Amino acid sequence: MYLKYNKNLIRSAKELRKNMTRQERHLWYDFLKSYPVKIVRQRAIGSYIVDFYCASAKLAIELDGSQHYDGQEDYDAARTKALNGMGITVIRFSNLEIDTNFKGVCEYIDLTIQKQKEN
């Protein structure tokens, strides 16, 4: 299934790739980049840019900093609903989870990808 995207988001996605947060860099370089299933970073999907995307599992991986807990909850919920409507599962981790439970986050991502690919 081909997912359409807003071409105007490409420049923003490239900028976000260049300016990843410390937690995004940690997850990318220490786990996702060498993961045996292809995962891309800062992927434009529809009207959104997801932090990481695994097309074969239809999975978006989002890392949430403190701004996501200060009034952005409704936007995130609407965004997740829109992505779900495109057949994409969204999983979210806080930056704190990356900092304090990196191994557990990686294991959860791995299990989720394996489960999604079975479906």
Under DSSP, the state recorded for 5 is B
pTM of the model: 0.88
Residue among 102, 89, 86 at smallest CA distance from 28: 102
For 15, the 3-state DSSP assignment is helix
In-domain check, residue 112: yes
The pLDDT value recorded for residue 67 is 54
In-domain check, residue 8: no
Helix/strand/coil (H, E, C) string of 24-87? HHHHHHHHHCCCCCCCEEEEEEECEEEEEEEHHHCEEEEEECHHHHCCCHHHHHHHHHHHHHCC
What CATH number is associated with residue 110? 3.40.960.10
In-domain check, residue 118: yes
In-domain check, residue 83: yes
The domain tally of the chain equals 1
The pLDDT value recorded for residue 65 is 77
Q: Is the pLDDT of residue 66 over 80?
A: no
In-domain check, residue 35: no
In-domain check, residue 2: no
In-domain check, residue 29: no
pLDDT per position as a tens digit, 2-59: 566 677 888 888 889 898 999 999 999 999 999 999 999 999 998 899 999 999 999 9
**Lowest-confidence segment of 11-15, 77-81, 103-107 by average pLDDT:** 11-15
Structural domain boundaries enclosing 64: 40-119
CB atoms within 10 A of CB 77: 10
The pLDDT value recorded for residue 14 is 87
Confidence class of residue 61 from pLDDT cuts 50, 70 and 90? very high
In-domain check, residue 79: yes
